[in-house]
Chains A and B, each alone.
Chain A
Amino acid sequence: DGGITQSPKYLFRKEGQNVTLSCEQNLNHDAMYWYRQDPGQGLRLIYYSQIVNDFQKGDIAEGYSVSREKKESFPLTVTSAQKNPTAFYLCASRLAGGNTGELFFGEGSRLTVL
């Protein structure tokens, strides 16, 4: 079945550690996105990528890094520089171009910093 797979679903991290969240899609979508969701704040854009080997910062990119070496993969690294990393992280994808096409979401990864 086509879709977006995020892993791990739950992750615990000690302060000062970097962690990488995986996002893989087999929808042949060009664009991929990472959002952070906190209670009462909706979804905030961290990074997005419209094509392979290119990505742009969103509104809250500080303390995060991404890569887009393959069309189907867009991993997110939460670095130790991110001051408040405990959150729910959602990866999404869509066909690029035009004004049609909704975002498809993965099931999310919940990161807790101990």
Chain B
Amino acid sequence: EDKVVQSPLSLVVHEGDTVTLNCSYEVTNFRSLLWYKQEKKAPTFLFMLTSSGIEKKSGRLSSILDKKELSSILNITATQTGDSAIYLCAVPNTGNQFYFGTGTSLTVIP
């Protein structure tokens, strides 16, 4: 059965800390892995990863895929209160069903 697992489930840090969120997957015929940020309502797209070992970066956020370990990490450096959100990982299967993990709830304390 295809599945996506995220860890930790929740995290509380202080402003300025660096955090690492994990996503592991077991999906048949893997093609891509996506990260989303969900603050209140609609998840917003962060990254799509298709190739192992190539880091994608946007400001203080970065992500990398390890196809050997069937996993990805999302790093956030110098965290700010605006980074408080649920971070979701998703992997599509060959039928274009997107499997989501349970998400990591990040709280950044001033």
Chain A residues engaging chain B, CB cutoff 8 angstroms: 31, 33, 35, 40-45, 48, 50, 56, 58, 90, 92, 94, 96, 99-100, 102-108
Select from chain A the residue with minimum beta-carbon distance to B48: A102
Pairwise interchain contact B102-A40, C-beta atoms closer than 8 A = yes
* Chain A residues with CB below 8 A from B90, complex form: 43, 103
Contact with B9, one of A40, A90, A96 (Cβ below 8 angstroms): A40
Interface majority SS on B: helix, strand, loop or mixed?
loop
CA distance A40 to B103 in the complex (A): 8
* Chain A residues with CB below 8 A from B43, complex form: 43, 90, 103, 105
Q: Does B31 interact with chain A (Cβ within 8 Å)?
A: yes
Q: How far is the CB of A104 from chain B (nearest CB, A)?
A: 8
* Chain A residues with CB below 8 A from B98, complex form: 33, 45, 92, 103
* Chain A residues with CB below 8 A from B95, complex form: 56
Number of B interface residues in the complex (CB < 8 A): 24
Q: How far is the CB of A109 from chain B (nearest CB, A)?
A: 10
Q: Does B58 interact with chain A (Cβ within 8 Å)?
A: no
Q: Report B11-29 residues with CB < 8 Å from chain A CB.
A: none
CA distance A31 to B16 in the complex (A): 40
CA distance A107 to B101 in the complex (A): 19
Minimum-distance CB pairs A-B, first 3: A99-B31, A43-B100, A42-B102
